[in-house]
Structure 1
Amino acid sequence: MKPPQSGADPVEAAVEAARQARRWPKGLYVHLPYCPYRCPYCDFNAYVLRSREQAGGVVDAILREAEGWARLSGAREGGFRTLYLGGGTPTLLTPAQIRRLLGGLRRLLPLDALDEVTVEANPGTLTPARLEALVEGGVRRVSLGAQSMDPLELRRLGRWQSPAQVERSVRLCRAHGIANISVDVMFALPGQHLASLMRTLDALLALEPQHVSAYCLTLEPGTPFFEQWSEGRLRLPGERLQAAMYRRVVERLRRGGWRRYEVSNFARPGYESAHNLLYWRHEEYLGLGPGAHSFWEGVRFATVRDPGDYARAAVAWAHGPGATVAFAERLTVRQRMEERLMLALRLEEGLDRRRFAADFGLSPEQAFGGAVWDELEAAGLLERKGDRIRLTDRGMMVADAIVATITATVPRPTTAAAIPAPAR
């Protein structure tokens, strides 16, 4: 059967990818969409939880979807290496719901060889009972949404937590045997100054996390923050201050022993996020839950976003495969090249020229035009050493702009038939 092309029926594209699969993807992402409240800057597929029954219904639907892919998939080799529970706030599930979800996934899918199991959590939602259920299910890594340790900044962000809850959450995790802890910190917040950012960072580093994610606040269309900013009611630090904040964060973390391995992510040696590295290295993953995305057998697809519609679609798996799929496309050669470039240049390790040439039959310079690489290298934004192309510290500051500049060039004419499929 000819592989579905971009724009083909979404169910057909995703189903055919699963049927043709020779092995399972390396990563499994599970989206739990409910939160205790809605943050004014957030554009994730998240909803305020109204009842335990809502959350339980999504858990049941996720397990139905997992069962559907397990029945359908032609994969007979390997198993998942990472499992990531994201959201939303997965730690709003009750202990019984956590046990049902993790136990069900292990029963339905090949999860015996997992190297990393992560759960996202908001401070204040981690309790001893929930942590016991998570640990029983194999969770050994927690990603904690701290964002700030300044009470005023937290209120401006619409966050209900307190700095004390962040500290208590870290202590609880360690008391239950979870030593691998990541914390999120945001900068360029409304009213934030460099001094307050560094106080937050120092307070979080005093908790000795193994991993830190540092994100610049981004205004997303459709969010209350974007509307307030558009109307002149929200003032944010200017670009020069934002850049200074990022530089200071990088310097402070490096000095303390946290290595930047991706533009916004820092880790103690050996504690990089294995799951997120799959995304950045353009590896395959399967996403379950409302609005979850997948990349499998060259097809990118996503599920129904609304939790109620998703739950009804999951029931329909009994009558036809792929019922939860809302969108799918088979990536073109050009799309695969651009995604590989965009993701790899976010990493300190950079772009592997040999892998790129093996997968696409062209070097990066041939694919995107040689002159632009020379110009970026001469400007001190990029360096080429051996088989690696990576951004410099200056380049990391403007990574998105550099990728846009490179991909705007006209590549050498190629055809899909002349280029091998991505290597496994």
Structure 2
Amino acid sequence: MTLEIAATTEVGSYFISNYPPFSLWTRENVPEIRTALAAEPDRSVPMGLYLHIPFCRKRCKFCYFRVYTNQNANAIARYAEALAKEVEIVSRERGVNGRELKFVYFGGGTPSYLSSKQLRFLRDELSRSVSWDHADEVTFECEPGTLSQEKVQTLKEIGVTRISLGVENFNDAILEENGRAHLSPEIFKAYDWIQQAGFPQVNIDLIAGMVGETDENWT
């Protein structure tokens, strides 16, 4: 990185906001969360489910999320079991129990880091507590290099309706410079599998302003 680039990118800070904000993630606020879950819900308000998968093949140079790399199958299995258990516990609460999901979102990290076997296990365990059979949309984030034709078909089988493919850039030199785990051949291969599987929605994620990018190679 040149001094000029460093000067323009290190001024200020970047922060992804979320709800509830981090300032409320304290033990003192746990009773308020329990009160909210125990309250009678407004059933006219749609309910969604976000499932976080914090594993990646490697950390990209621009990433500031809490992710875990090079985890073995046992670690992932323990996490999947804990995630399903948490959903089960919350699903029994009055504010959630019996409500249909309007949307489901698998984010990360890299949800597609999970194997086909792990994905089926997670779907089977979650189905004991919640159902997304009638959800309007089930989105799944994918890193191209983690996909296989079998895994893409598994995603279709477990009910995913929208693939979010983390391409970020089609230039191999830029992908390597920014620490991405995949290269362009894997992008096109993954996209072909997704098209063949017949997903109704496919989103291609691109990042503007990556190191090494210019107006010319962006277009």
Structure 2: how far apart are the matches of 1:159 and 1:105? 31
Write the letter of the residue equivalent to 2:52.
Answer: H
> Deviation of residue 115 (structure 1)?
0.6
Shift of 1:191: 2.5
1:181 aligns with 2:181: no
Aligned-pair CA distance for 1:141: 1.1
Shift of residue 162, structure 1, vs aligned partner: 1.1
- Partners of 2:163 and 2:81 lie apart in 1 by 23
Q: Secondary structure at the match of 2:150?
A: helix
CA-CA distance at 1:105 after TM superposition: 1.8
**Aligned to 1:100, what secondary structure does the other structure show?**
helix
Asked whether the 8 Å contact 2:133–2:159 carries over to 1, the reply is no
Corresponding residue number in structure 1 for 2:32: 13
Q: Percent identity?
A: 28
Compared CA separation, residues 33 and 6, structure 1 to 2 (3 A):
closer
Q: Is the 8 A contact 2:57 2:181 kept in 1?
A: no
Which structure 2 segments of 5+ residues have no match? 1-23
Q: 1:90 aligned to 2:108?
A: no
Q: What corresponds to 1:49 in structure 2?
A: 70
SS in 1 for 2:127: helix
Provide Cα deviations, 1:227-254, integer angstroms capped at 9, x if missing partner: xxxxxxxxxxxxxxxxxxxxxxxxxxxx
Hey, what's the Cα distance between the residues in 1 that align with 2:160 and 2:29?
33
Q: Following TM superposition, by how much is the alpha carbon of 1:28 offset from its aligned partner in structure 2, in angstroms?
A: 0.6
Amino acid at match of 1:155: E
Provide the residue aligned with 2:177 in structure 1.
Answer: 156
> Tell me, which stretches of 5 or more residues in structure 1 are unaligned?
199-424
Matched, 1:80 2:93: no
Q: Structure 2 residue aligned with 1:113, among 112, 134, 143?
A: 134
Distance 1:187 1:7, change over 3 A: closer
Distance 1:104 1:8, change over 3 A: closer
Question: Is the 8 Å Cα contact of residues 91 and 97 (structure 2) preserved in structure 1?
Answer: no
- Show the 5 A alignment for 1:123-272: 123-198=144-219
For residue 27 of structure 1, report the CA deviation from its aligned partner: 1.3
Quote how far apart the aligned CAs of 1:104 are: 2.0
Aligned-pair distance for 1:59? Answer: 0.5
Superposed CA offset, 1:364-411 (max 9, x none): xxxxxxxxxxxxxxxxxxxxxxxxxxxxxxxxxxxxxxxxxxxxxxxx
User: Aligned partners of 1:7, 1:51: CA distance in 2, in Å?
Assistant: 31
The structural deviation recorded for 1:6 is 9.8
Shift of 1:7: 7.1
**1:6 to 1:33, Cα distance in 2 relative to 1, 3 A:** closer
Residue type at the aligned position of 1:122: E
Q: Secondary structure of 2:134's partner?
A: coil
Aligned to 1:36: 57
Amino acid at match of 2:166: G
Report which of the two structures shows the higher radius of gyration computed on alpha carbons.
1
Query: How do 1:308-347 and structure 2 match up within 5 A?
Result: none
Q: Is the 8 A contact 2:49 2:105 kept in 1?
A: yes
Correspondence 1:67 to 2:66: no
Per-residue Cα deviation, 1:268-293 (whole angstroms, up to 9, x for no partner): xxxxxxxxxxxxxxxxxxxxxxxxxx
SS of match in other structure, 1:139? coil
Q: How far apart in 2 are the matches of 1:21 and 1:45? A: 34
- Is the 8 Å Cα contact of residues 32 and 90 (structure 1) preserved in structure 2? yes
RMSD between aligned residues:
2.0
Q: 1:27 aligns with which of 33, 41, 48?
A: 48
* Mapped partners of 2:187, 2:171: distance in 1: 11
Write the distance in 2 (CA, Å) between the matches of 1:78 and 1:71: 11
Deviations 1:256-313 (A, max 9, x none): xxxxxxxxxxxxxxxxxxxxxxxxxxxxxxxxxxxxxxxxxxxxxxxxxxxxxxxxxx
Q: Map residues 367-406 of structure 1 onto 2, 5 A cutoff.
A: none
Q: How many residues align?
A: 194
Cα pair distance change 1:21/1:195, threshold 3 Å: farther
TM-score (norm 2): 0.82
2:59, 2:69 within 8 Å by CA — same for their partners in 1? yes
**C-alpha displacement of 1:72:** 2.5
Q: Distance in 1 between matches of 2:166 and 2:95?
A: 37
Query: Aligned equivalents of 1:181 and 1:50: distance in 2?
Result: 28
Q: 1:75 to 1:88 in 2, by over 3 A?
A: closer
Give 3-state SS (helix, strand or coil) of 1:65's partner: helix
Shift of 1:9: 2.1
**Structure 2 counterpart of 1:96, one-letter code:** K
